[in-house]
């Protein structure tokens, strides 16, 4: 279990999401690697191989008990605790993230919001008061926050990242359209809509 490829880890949240759907919307208690793969456009063999890195969760002839597999995946992904998250940036995107109701049921709670714009500081954002970015480090350390969502313009992103890392943050979800330099023990995940659109236009005929 020591050295599971990151590409495998990246699929586990997608399995978890679809399993939750199967349980909640289709009211199923059991599924198979074949059914899950069908629904996700992934081969059944890949799903079985992925899961086999962590143990034996299925039963020949039957498949997987959905609630049990959900529980196992939540443990593997360290989702048995709720993770507090710092949100940096209270612009339109910050608003959208602060109001998103999909975080809580899947393990995350936005706990504080920061901005450097005096007009935004003090604003109430879905129950959270926007704090001065000057206080970012102290609040993050006080609340022992390890995850941040970066929703600022590109020109401040690296500078804020450096401050987040110094404050002890170990995972950053970056919405700014820029590559971030971080130490090897800090995770970064990127979300630049234009990069995603440009990848797709390659396949389109102009």
Q: Specify the residue for token string 């440009």.
A: 198
- Window 36-55: residues binding DNA (CB under 7 A): 42-46, 48-49, 51-52
193 phi/psi in degrees, rounded to 5: -60, -35
Of residues 29, 38, 62, 124, which one binds DNA by CB under 7 A? Answer: 62
Is 190 a binder of DNA (CB under 7 A)?
A: no
Number of residues binding to its own copies, judged by CB under 8 A: 62
Is 15 a binder of DNA (CB under 7 A)?
A: no
Label residues 57-73 b or e (16+ Cβ within 10 Å = b). bbeeeebbbbeebbebb
Q: Which of 68, 66, 18 is nearest to 41 (CA)?
A: 18
Nearer to its own copies, 91 or 122 (CB): 91
Q: Specify the residue for token string 């102290």.
A: 138
Rounded Cα distance, 180 and 193, in Å: 16
- The helix (run of H) or strand (run of E) holding residue 65 is strand 63-65
Of residues 34, 65, 146, 163, which one binds its own copies by CB under 8 A? Answer: 146
Binding site residues, its own copies, CB under 8 A: 6, 9-10, 12-14, 16-18, 21, 39-41, 76-81, 83, 85, 91-93, 95-97, 99-100, 102-103, 106-108, 146-147, 149, 170-171, 173, 177-179, 181, 187, 189, 191-206
Binding site residues, DNA, CB under 7 A: 5-8, 32-34, 42-46, 48-49, 51-52, 56-64
């Amino acid at each position: 279990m020591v050295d599971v490829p990151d590409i495998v880890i990246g699929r586990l949240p997608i399995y978890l999401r679809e399993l939750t759907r199967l349980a909640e919307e289709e009211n199923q208690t059991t599924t198979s690697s074949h059914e899950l793969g069908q629904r996700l456009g992934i081969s059944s063999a890949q799903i079985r191989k992925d899961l086999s890195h962590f143990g034996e969760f299925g039963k020949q002839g039957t498949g997987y008990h959905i609630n049990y597999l959900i529980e196992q995946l939540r443990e593997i992904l360290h989702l048995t605790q709720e993770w507090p998250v710092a949100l940096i940036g209270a612009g339109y995107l910050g608003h959208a993230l602060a109001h998103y109701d999909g975080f809580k049921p899947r393990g995350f709670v936005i706990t504080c919001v920061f901005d450097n714009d005096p007009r935004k500081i003090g604003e109430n954002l879905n129950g959270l008061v926007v704090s001065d970015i000057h206080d970012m480090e102290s609040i993050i350390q006080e609340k022992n926050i390890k995850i941040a969502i970066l929703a600022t313009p590109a020109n401040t992103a690296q500078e804020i990242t450096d401050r987040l890392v110094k404050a002890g943050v170990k995972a950053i979800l970056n919405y700014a359209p820029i590559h971030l330099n971080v130490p090897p023990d800090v995770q970064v995940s990127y979300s630049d809509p234009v990069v995603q659109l440009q990848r797709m236009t390659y396949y389109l005929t102009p």
